[in-house]
Amino acid sequence: MEFALIRKGSFTMGNLERKDGPTPIQQVHISKDYWLGITEVTQGQWQKIMGSQEIHPDKPSPFLGVNSNYPKVSVSYYDIMDFLQKLNTLSKGHGYRFRLPTEAEWEYACRANTTSPFSYGEILSDTLANYNAKIPSIYSKPGIFLEHPMPVKSYPPNPWGLYDMHGNVWEWVSDWYGPYPNDEMTDPIGPKNGEEKVIRGGSWYFGAQNAKSSFRKPHQPRLWGFSIGFRVVCEIIEK
């Protein structure tokens, strides 16, 4: 896995353009630098850690084994917890620990100091991200629908060197789904509990609106989907 150093800072989180609903915004401060995977975790990386691609034989991923550089999909939140537990066990003693990003860390990195709907600007195109460009949207130009994910790094990175933050596959984050608080927040981690987790970034199956930096979607943590994957944060353990 490759990681980019995301420097601490502050940003406005949420639907800044407010063209499609009153999604709230909040001022967020990220108080520490962190390392975020520059790509989604791939099938090949999952295979190396878990020893097998198959997770749910009763409902296997339609892309299982197609390309080792495809993002790993059809993983529930709890499947990812198993992956992280094994990865952290293998990394024990090396000074690293891995986890999912928080929702705030994810959006901060996705925006990369931008305030537009996408880190690329106001409008998304099918040359910049893998999404369903046949779905009409005020956020995109008409384009193609590939009907499948693409290998990671197939599209240009955002200004901070992160690939596929818009489109390709949804990404699980660690937060429970809930309304944003009205107050300024430092290193928010979301509600203490809930019924649904948050997924971010849109996917190859959905339109441009779902791929916006601010778009958030609730999803049952025990459920998986053919266009839901994840990327991870690497923490350096201080000795």
Q: Where are the domains of the chain?
A: 3-236
Higher-scoring residue by pLDDT: 65, 42: 42
Distance CA 49, CA 90 (A): 8
Task: Band the pLDDT of 70: cuts 50, 70, 90.
Answer: very high
- Burial string for 72-108 (b: 16+ CB within 10 Å, else e) reads bbbbbbebbeebbeebeeeeeeeebebbbbbbbbbbb
Could you tell me if 231 and 39 are in contact, meaning their C-beta atoms sit under 8 angstroms apart? yes
Which superfamily, per CATH, for 3-236? paralog of FGE (formylglycine-generating enzyme) (3.90.1580.10)
**Lowest mean per-residue pLDDT among 59-63, 161-165, 207-211:** 59-63
3-state secondary structure of 50: helix
Distance CA 85, CA 93 (A): 14
Task: Band the pLDDT of 165: cuts 50, 70, 90.
Answer: very high
Question: How, if at all, do strands 233-236 and 228-229 pair?
Answer: unpaired
Quick check: 20 pLDDT over 70? no
Distance CA 70, CA 67 (A): 5
